[in-house]
Amino acid sequence: MIITLNGKTREFSGPMSVSQLLAELGFESRPVVVELNQEPVFPRDHAERQVEDGAVVEIVALAAGG
């Protein structure tokens, strides 16, 4: 499966949920904002929403600071 992730083409083994993608990228325990095909994906929906071939995904890691 080939997707566009944060503007770059990436290849993965096959369709997966947003949760699985985040885990594969090392974001499973970090607060992130996810957009899938220009639609926001809320954390409660990460396990159900599927990332398929050709998807456009944007992931932004949140950081606290002062």
Q: What is the pLDDT of residue 13?
A: 92
For 49, the domain range is 2-61
Count of the separate structural domains present in the chain: 1
Q: pTM to 2 decimals?
A: 0.90
In the predicted model, is pLDDT for residue 65 greater than 90? no
CA distances from 12 to 24, 42, 47, 52, 58 (A): 9, 22, 17, 10, 15
CATH number at residue 44: 3.10.20.30
Q: E strands within 1-66?
A: 2-5, 8-11, 16-17, 32-36, 39-41, 50-51, 56-61
Instruction: Report if residue 66 sits inside a domain.
Output: no
**Each residue's pLDDT tens digit, 1-40:** 999 999 999 999 999 999 999 999 999 888 999 999 999 9
